[in-house]
Structure 1
Amino acid sequence: MQPTFTTIREARRWASLFLQEHDRETQAAQLLLEGYLGWNFSKMLAYEDEPLNEEVKKNFIKAVRAHAETGEPVQHLLGSASFFGREFKVTPDVLIPRPETEELVLGVMEWARAEKIASPKIVDLGTGSGIIAITASLEIPGSEVTAVDISDAALKVAAANARRHEVDIQFYQGDFLSPVQHEPFDILVSNPPYISEEEKALMDDTVLDFDPSLALFAEEEGLAAYKRILTQVAHAEQKPLLLAFEIGWLQGEQVSSMIEQLLPGFQAEVRTDINGRDRMVFASRRKTE
């Protein structure tokens, strides 16, 4: 049975109640409506008593039901996600951007400004949709950015996002640093897979059923990707000046210890996210070393 609402306000109310009945976050109603209208929240409030376009209504109802019944993420239904104030294409081949990752990028930006390195060379490992690489290219003046991913499908999404935001990024397919092992970089940044297989039972279906497993899970209790990257860095002729990793909230001490063990001369620092949980590890070395 089709809902009988006509206005934008009624559409939002119907969707919120429908999602609540299916134990889904009601905020998805607002996000979907904004997405299909192409409006922000303020504009929606100003025009909430206006009738909803029939085509928008049809797509909105379909998306709300899909999210309620299957958990399909709002971002997949809309085909895009917001990151650092910009819209990026997303598909089931890439991770949906998380707000915590913005803090990782912000930390890289602050370090680059403090060090005053002209035209810093940056490599983003496991780039996925390209959000880190593209944001760094846009926000760090003069930066030269390279991005790597093992997934060809993910690289196609990243390349599309780079074209959308008009940035020149070099993309490579391969196992983390391996395709660019002999190239020098000032900054290495990565949000690699860090969830252990044992944690699957605790995960929400909107993540488990729709985000790519390749980008989520890692062996060795979620630490295998860090070990792989750090081993590659250890064998590189020239080490970066900064390593910046997103981590699982219980992995700070382990990743820090791994860095300092495999890369003598690097000093690691664990940083918390906006929720007060360990979420990032930054490790730097002096330029003269």
Structure 2
Amino acid sequence: MNLLLAEVAQATQRLADAGVPSPRFDAEELAAYVHGVKRGELHTVPDADFDARYWEAVARREAREPLQHITGRAFFRYLELRVGPGVFVPRPETESVVGWAIDALRAMDVAEPLVVDLCTGSGAIALALAQEVPRSTVHAVELDERALAWARRNVAGSRVVLHHQDALHALPGFDGQVDLVISNPPYVPLEEWENVAPEARDHDPELALFSGQDGLDTIRGLERTARRLLRPGGVVVVEHADTQGGQVPWIFNEDAGWTDAADHRDLNNRPRFTTARRAVP
């Protein structure tokens, strides 16, 4: 075993003792970042090239600073995004939400589908949709100025159009025209603050995490926004906590003008997102 791999093994144990959920992956990812190689190439780093800054990075992760804040990057579907303090770090669970939306857009009999991503954060969802459904037109909305700055970096040079607006009152010029509205909004109940992982609770923006006593305040507002924006037959896709799968579909009810409201599970078989269709008169 070369020196770097031996150090990675030690770092893995330190991160595990600190309660990091994926200690081996994080130890390897930090080593790859510091040494400028891919994770699968760690064995190629000569002992003489070992960089002591690795242990500085490990100490930061040991203190539960998000891995993505240390490396400055987050991977989402086929994207590498720039992230850091002030923006919500995209999670793997959201990839299944986007996958469903991509399938729905591809199935639409619309030449150039119009898409709105509300609470875009880093821009991950909007960029993935624009990349994987190239005939779509994607608009992304973000209120928080710090998150918006990260989104601007990420969408630069892409087809995504970014708007600095409140998601609950966004894009009135598109009323009744949008084919798909998607959002990963804040949904953590305020009473759950102490149970949130330190990486999120201490580093993600509160605006991107918490939403009222039951966590559903923003989703209730987004229901009204989506109802206003979508054309008849248009689709909404909203992520939620795995404990909210029995609640969110009821927000998109028939009395409010929706049909086909359903909940969906992520790759871990946990309730993860709700979809509904704007009723056709």
**TM-score, normalization: structure 1?**
0.89
Q: Which residue matches 1:207?
A: 200
Distance 2:221 2:35 in 1: 44
Aligned partners of 1:182, 1:227: CA distance in 2, in Å?
21
Residue identity in the other structure for 2:262: E
Compared CA separation, residues 116 and 40, structure 1 to 2 (3 A): farther
Q: 2:111 aligns with which of 114, 118, 128?
A: 118
Corresponding position of 2:173: 182
Q: Is the contact made by 1:233 and 1:239 (CA closer than 8 Å) also made in structure 2?
A: no
Contact 1:182 1:237 in 2 (8 A): no
Are the aligned partners of 2:139 and 2:162 in contact in 1 as well (CA < 8 Å)? yes
| Residues 1:52 and 1:13: Cα distance change in structure 2 (over 3 Å) | farther
Structure 1: gaps of 5 or more residues: none
Find the counterpart in structure 2 of residue 65 from structure 1. Answer: 59
Deviation at 1:252, TM superposition (A): 2.1
- For 2:277 and 2:269, the matched residues in 1 are separated by 22
Matches within 5 A, 1:127-146: 127-146=120-139
**Mean alpha-carbon deviation: is it higher for 139-148 or for 202-211?**
202-211
Matched residue, 2:160? 169
- Amino acid in structure 2 at the alignment position of 1:62: E
What letter corresponds to residue 15 of structure 1 in structure 2? A
Which of 6, 10, 14 lines up with 1:14 in the alignment? Answer: 10
Relative to structure 1, the CA distance from residue 278 to residue 139 in structure 2 (aligned partners, 3 Å threshold; closer, same or farther) is: same
Counterpart-to-counterpart distance in 2, 1:129 and 1:237:
24
- Paired position in structure 2 for 1:43: 41
- Shift of the 177–239 alpha-carbon distance from structure 1 to 2, 3 Å rule, reads farther
Output one character per residue of 1:133-183: Cα deviation in whole Å (capped at 9) or x when no partner: 0110000021101000111111111111112xx312211112104230231
Matches of 1:83 and 1:176 in 2, distance apart?
A: 22
Name the CA distance, whole Å, in 1 between partners of 2:48 and 2:73: 22
Aligned residues: 277
Contact 2:170/2:225 (<8 A) preserved: no
State, as a whole percentage, how many aligned pairs show the same letter: 29
Asked whether the 8 Å contact 2:185–2:218 carries over to 1, the reply is yes
Residues 1:22 and 1:233: Cα distance change in structure 2 (over 3 Å) = closer
d(CA) in 2 for partners of 1:97 and 1:285? 27
Distance 1:260 1:244, change over 3 A: same
Deviations along 1:82-116, one digit per CA (max 9) or x if unpaired, are 11032100112111111110001100011111223
Question: How far apart, in 1, do the equivalents of 2:230 and 2:276 lie?
Answer: 18
Equivalent position amino acid for 1:12 in 2: V
Contact persistence 2:140–2:163 (CA under 8 A): yes
| 1:266 correspondence with 2:259 | yes
1:189 positional shift: 0.2
Of 184, 191, 194, which aligns to 1:191? 184
* In 2, Cα distance between equivalents of 1:170 and 1:262: 33
Per the TM alignment, residue 235 of structure 1 is displaced from its structure 2 partner at its CA by 4.4
Alpha carbons 1:185, 1:240 under 8 Å: kept: no
Counterparts of 2:203 and 2:275, CA distance in 1: 29
Matches of 1:236 and 1:126, distance apart in 2 = 15
Structure 2 SS opposite 1:141: coil
Distance 2:231 2:168 in 1: 12
Instruction: Give the secondary structure class of the aligned counterpart of 2:98.
Output: helix
Check the 8 A contact 1:181/1:232 in 2, yes or no.
no
Aligned AA for 1:42? G
Is the Cα contact below 8 Å between 2:230 and 2:278 reproduced in 1?
A: no
In the TM superposition, residue 268 of structure 1 has moved relative to its aligned partner by: 0.7
Q: Pairwise mapping of residues 152-167 of structure 1 onto structure 2 (< 5 A)? A: 152-163=145-156, 166-167=157-158
Query: Could you tell me whether the CA contact under 8 Å between 2:122 and 2:151 is conserved in 1?
Result: yes
Task: Indicate the RMSD between aligned Cα atoms, in angstroms.
Answer: 2.1
Query: Unaligned 5+ residue runs, structure 2?
Result: none
